[in-house]
């Protein structure tokens, strides 16, 4: 059973860049799509973007100008960098596996708060 674990800062200052990493264990990161989803407190799910093991990406159009995703197959990790953070970006961030909407494995989530 593949397991995913998010890591990164729980607190980010406004205008700074959020960097999160997802470590995949129990299986190879190769030949799969990996996605990031976020959920503001008390609200619904928002798809951030996905990256294939080869490095090709698709991003949510609303976040595309601030978003960079990358993958490190040697470490079985993939990452998210979201710049110019504001309070509206405060949320629980999840990493997941799946091609599009068939997201069958999820990390436990990491709470990110944007505050000075």
Partner 1 sequence: QSVLTQPPSASGTPGQRVTISCSGSSSNIGGYYVSWYQQLPGAAPRLLIYMNNQRPSGVPDRFSGSKSGTSASLAISGLRSEDEADYYCAAWDDSLSGYVVFGGGTKLTVL
Residues in touch with partner 1 (CB under 8 A): 35, 37, 44-47, 49-50, 58-61, 64, 94, 98, 100-104, 106-109
Residue 64: DSSP 8-state: G
97 contact partners, CB below 8 Å, separation of at least 6: 2, 4, 24, 32, 33, 34, 35, 103, 104, 105
Task: Please tell me the distance from the alpha carbon of residue 114 to that of residue 53, in angstroms, as a whole number.
Answer: 30
**Measured from the CB of residue 33, what is the shortest distance to partner 1 in angstroms?**
11
Provide, rounded to whole angstroms, the least separation between the CB of residue 43 and partner 1.
Answer: 8
Cα(58)–Cα(45) distance, rounded to whole angstroms?
A: 17
**Considering beta carbons, is residue 104 or 116 the nearer one to partner 1?**
104
Q: CB of residue 116 vs partner 1: minimum separation in angstroms?
A: 28
CB of 45 or CB of 87, closer to partner 1: 45
Measured from the CB of residue 103, what is the shortest distance to partner 1 in angstroms? 6
Comparing CB distances to partner 1, the nearer of 61 and 74 is: 61
Q: Which is nearer to partner 1, 77 or 96 (CB)?
A: 96
Q: Which residues pair with 69 in a beta bridge?
A: 80
Report the SS3 class of residue 88: helix
């Amino acid at each position: 059973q593949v397991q995913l674990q998010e890591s990164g800062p729980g607190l980010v200052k406004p205008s700074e860049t959020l960097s999160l990493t997802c470590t995949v264990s129990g299986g190879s990161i190769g030949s799969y799509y990996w996605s990031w989803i976020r959920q503001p407190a008390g609200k619904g799910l928002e798809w951030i973007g996905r990256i294939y093991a080869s490095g090709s990406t698709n991003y949510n159009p609303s976040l595309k100008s601030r978003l960079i995703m990358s993958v490190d197959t040697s470490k079985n990790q993939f990452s998210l960098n979201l710049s110019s953070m504001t309070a509206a970006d405060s949320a629980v961030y999840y990493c997941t596996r799946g091609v599009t909407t068939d997201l069958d494995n999820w990390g436990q989530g990491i709470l990110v708060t944007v505050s000075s």
